[in-house]
A and B are shown apart, each in its own frame.
Chain A
């Protein structure tokens, strides 16, 4: 029993996309631009050349926020989307009817259809793969060359993520929606 979350030291991201590749490889995600559990986004730099604001163009890795109050879980008609014992938002593909309500309800665009099972898929912090094997890191974290991602137990005050969140300023995405994300962007 834990409460898993992830902190992203996003300014270290160099957009190598190794995390995306590792995620697809580890979790057997389909190929194709639409089929991704995680992604590295980027903002256009502010300003007009040559007076560009380099800091504004930081890369922003993102994924399912594993919200404490997940809209996708609330709207699922068959409890196919559920919180596991570790607070991870997961999909039970046996129960998924593919009504796509969760895809519309998720404010983070974190869900897609796996066309092999014709059910909705999303990040589950490698719960079926690495965590199930007893490992303590996710594939995206493990592969990141600049150590952007820190995954761990938010309930454990001595975990790396808890220490980091105590010592560094951070923010969450679309906080105003009241979803209480467990993905933290450290500044």
Chain B
């Protein structure tokens, strides 16, 4: 009897502790009215309208999916992965990148970057949530996945590791963010470091999903797992510029200007490395003499989406960084917008290019007209769900800016 009472007390105490901990998380009490009370400038109205439109498209896209299943998508036997996979990758790369940028200050202790830590970590949470919202409608059976991922884990599968680690990563990011809000920097550093390591592992496993495909010579190998980490960092810096640009209406205070210039210099180095990587990938693909690879690489070089990726994510940002030695942060804000469009094409290309080459099990004459290349263009439902993912991401971020103080406490 005594023991029962004791146990009960312990339970009560723990529950109380948890309740107290949650109650002590600083947040602003907001109403719908607060959410609607933004400065009514033309830009803000356009952005707000776009977010509402995208959320509406998401609902329509999901309804189409629920009514028609995968028939609502343009994926086929030859091209089973479509736009939604690319958009999922786009969001999780953004998340990992923001986690890296956020960690510069609160995990690695670079003081200049502390003022973006909280915002970046919050950004990493909303981007991965948007990614999960999109992938939930690409995976045929998400509930089955949650069950069998646990009771029947396929440990040789990069998708298993990627999914499981990203689940853990989201948990650590949320915990880190809570400690950042509470200004408990020691705990934030611990969870931030664990979250960063888990996030990097998850992200390189996402690259591994493609790297392990020995049937697809264009993707097979170590390139994607490492390239994903590099491009995540680049994406994180692009989004850092965009977030800070909107926060300060591109009129940056001195310390933000210093931080952004430093980030721009890092970005210049990272983009240069990326160009080096991509150049050598193309050279080895074309001249490496591996079966089926050079023709795919040459085909990629002839596609406009590849050049959109190169010009928007590499050439324009690098040119503007070098021209101003990273000082012209206003222009770099716009370069970052261009960069994110380029990053989207980068993700789309990697998914599509992997599946470009038909496997040609001698069916070409009788089953399909000479498929030199596998064609794919996303369906309306795929486009709507993808834009909806962006809407979810922006809406969650906007609510977060109202709900939490995302500025550095030392700064304000």
Contact = CB atoms under 8 A, between A and B. Distances in A.
16 contacts: A33-B368, A34-B77, A39-B366, A40-B366, A43-B365, A60-B362, A74-B212, A75-B159, A77-B145, A79-B148, A80-B148, A96-B141, A97-B140, A106-B359, A109-B363, A115-B70
A62 B361 CA distance: 8
Interface of B: 69-71, 75-78, 80-81, 139-142, 144-145, 148-149, 152-154, 156-160, 163, 209, 212-216, 354-355, 358-368
Tell me if B's interface is mostly helix, strand, loop or mixed. Answer: loop
A98 interface: yes
A39 B367 contact: yes
Interface string A67-82: 0000100111111100
A113 interface: yes
Contacts of A34: 76-77
A111 B78 CA distance: 9
Contact of A105 (B141, B160, B212, B365): B212
Contacts of B358: 109
B148 A95 contact: yes
Of B70, B81, B154, the most chain A CB neighbours within 10 A belong to: B154
B75 A100 contact: yes
A74 B157 contact: yes
Contact of A104 (B216, B364, B365, B367): B216
Contact of B156 (A15, A33, A44, A75): A75
Contacts of A94: 144
B70 A113 contact: yes
Tell me if A's interface is mostly helix, strand, loop or mixed. Answer: loop
Interface of A: 15, 33-34, 39-44, 60, 62, 71, 74-80, 94-101, 103-113, 115, 118-119, 173-174, 177-178
A81 B358 CA distance: 23
A77 B152 CA distance: 8
Contacts of A77: 145, 149, 153-154, 157, 159-160, 163
A108 B359 CA distance: 6
B152 A78 contact: yes
B282 to A, nearest CB: 22
Contacts of B158: 75
A105 B80 contact: no
A33 to B, nearest CB: 6
Contact of B145 (A39, A62, A78, A115): A78
A115 B153 CA distance: 25
Nearest to A62: B361
Contacts of B212: 74-75, 105
B348 to A, nearest CB: 16
A39 B140 contact: no
Contacts of B78: 109
Contacts of A71: 213-215
A118 B70 contact: yes
Contacts of A62: 361-363
A74 B365 contact: no
Contacts of A43: 362, 365
B77 A41 contact: no
A26 to B, nearest CB: 21
Contacts of B160: 77-78
A39 B163 contact: no
B361 A39 contact: yes
